[in-house]
Amino acid sequence: MNSFIKSISTYLPSIKVTNEDIAQKFPEWDSDKIFSKIGVKNRNIVDDNETVIDMAVKSIENLVNETNLDLSIIDYLILCTQSPDFKLPTAACIVQNRIGLSKNCAAIDINQGCSGYIYGLSLADALISSGNFKNILLVTSETYSKSIHETDKGNISLFGDAATATLISTEGKYRIGKFNLGTDGSGWENLIIKNGGSKYINDNNLNNMDNYLYMNGSAIFDFTSKNIPPLVNDNLEKNLIHKEDVNLFVFHQANTFMLSFLRKRIGIDENRFLINMENYGNTVSSSIPLAFKDSFSNDLEKVMFVGFGVGYSWGAVTLFKN
């Protein structure tokens, strides 16, 4: 049984942080320099009281309002986040209750970061293909802003908060094709929040910066430049299509320099390669559906999604217009 993406909705928190706002805090980091280095002008972040669960609920409410979705048909909820409200229970269970999904609806969290949307789609596709489920909500919700140290001007400039909700069903606009997924755990230390798990839960001897997001940008770039071009080619081959057949490539919106590098390395025309992070920043697992939302209504015959990052993990899938 085939699975399809039927609809996508998004939610952005209300606080907008401009490059000018950041430059006021870091005078050596002027707004033009931020844009030239990272490719972001604005990003939205949550306030102290808004959480991943709140944003997830709002993205689903937006999907209901925009598509008249009857939530009683949902039989599985997948919530992708690395910023859960609690260590337990799973955020998905609380979202199920908040939005009134059936008690016969399964609800799970996945912790997968920048490739999380691809992994979530692969799970939804497998669940529908099994014949046991018909309508799945895949929700991404991230609040990285709460995990960035106040002096970390690079990550403050790069990341934004966002949530998305995608309905995957037995019928819809885009048929989900074949996946390529990969993992290389040797790079686990290069994008990490070290404290907060069971290993360093109360270790006061650790540097306080270990409570916050750390990213080794050069190592991430090396990993990406090595693994993503062959990933794209492998997914083209697996779906029995050529690069020229794809109408739109939607990559994880990591940063504009990396995206431009990958586009040129792979040999994709600029008009078929989506970069839209200027007003959102890097929104982690939300970046692909957030980028694709505005193109969803277009008549695109074939679309490729590519995600990569923390873990390291990566994945690609091609969609075919139904």
Give tens-digit pLDDT for 43-88.
999 999 999 999 999 999 999 999 999 999 999 999 999 999 999 9
At 209, which CATH number? 3.40.47.10
- Residue 233 bears catalytic tag: no
CA 132 to chain CA centroid, nearest Å: 26
Residues 208 and 268 occupy one common structural domain: yes
Domain count, the chain: 2
Residues 23 and 74 occupy one common structural domain: yes
- Global pTM value: 0.96
- Residue 282 bears catalytic tag: yes
pLDDT digits (tens, 9 = 90+) for 247-294: 999 999 999 999 999 999 999 999 999 999 999 999 999 999 999 998
Strands 302-309 and 162-169: unpaired
pLDDT number for residue 206 = 65
Decide: 85 and 272 in contact? Cβ < 8 Å: no
Residues 84 and 192 occupy one common structural domain: no
pLDDT number for residue 31 = 85
Question: Of 9, 11, 84, nearest to 44 (Cα)?
Answer: 11
- Residue 252 bears catalytic tag: yes
Residues 157 and 195 occupy one common structural domain: no
Backbone φ/ψ region at 284: left (φ over 0), alpha (ψ -120 to 50), beta? left
Last residue of a domain, one of 122, 141, 172: 172
Range of the domain at 156: 4-172
Instruction: Return the amino acid letter for 131.
Output: G
Residues 58 and 207 occupy one common structural domain: no
Residues 143 and 193 occupy one common structural domain: no
List phi, psi (to 5°) of 223. -60, -45
Is it true that the peptide bond before 27 is cis, omega within 30 degrees of 0? no
Last residue of a domain, one of 115, 150, 172: 172
Residues 71 and 130 occupy one common structural domain: yes
Last residue of a domain, one of 172, 188, 216: 172
Residue from 114, 195, 239, 255 carrying the catalytic annotation? 114
Helices within the chain (DSSP H only): 19-25, 31-38, 52-67, 91-99, 116-129, 153-158, 217-238, 256-266, 287-293
Q: How far apart, in whole angstroms, are the C-alpha atoms of residue 142 and residue 289?
A: 13
Residue by residue, DSSP assigns 131-185 as: TS-SEEEEEEEE-GGGGS-TT-HHHHHHB--EEEEEEEESS-SEEEEEEEEEE-G
Residues 282 and 239 occupy one common structural domain: yes
pLDDT number for residue 319 = 98
CA 202 to chain CA centroid, nearest Å: 30
pLDDT number for residue 210 = 84
Decide: 277 and 287 in contact? Cβ < 8 Å: yes
Residues 134 and 257 occupy one common structural domain: no
Other beta carbons within 10 Å of 257 = 13
pLDDT in tens, the chain (322 residues): 999 999 999 999 999 999 999 999 998 888 888 898 889 999 999 999 999 999 999 999 999 999 999 999 999 999 999 999 999 999 999 999 999 999 999 999 999 999 999 999 999 999 999 999 999 999 999 999 999 999 999 999 999 999 999 999 999 999 999 999 999 999 999 999 888 888 887 666 666 888 899 999 999 999 999 999 999 999 999 999 999 999 999 999 999 999 999 999 999 999 999 999 999 999 999 999 999 998 888 889 999 999 999 999 999 999 999 9
Helix or strand run (H / E) with residue 78: strand 76-80
Burial (CB count within 10 angstroms: exposed 0-12, middle 13-18, buried 19+), residue 314:
buried
Question: Of 211, 219, 84, 195, nearest to 150 (Cα)?
Answer: 211
CA 118 to chain CA centroid, nearest Å: 8
The sign of the CA dihedral 41, 111, 6, 65 is negative
Residues 36 and 93 occupy one common structural domain: yes
pLDDT number for residue 205 = 66
**Average pLDDT over the chain, rounded to an integer:** 95
Residues 205 and 314 occupy one common structural domain: yes
Residues 249 and 133 occupy one common structural domain: no
3-state secondary structure of 306: strand
pLDDT number for residue 74 = 99
Burial (CB count within 10 angstroms: exposed 0-12, middle 13-18, buried 19+), residue 1:
exposed
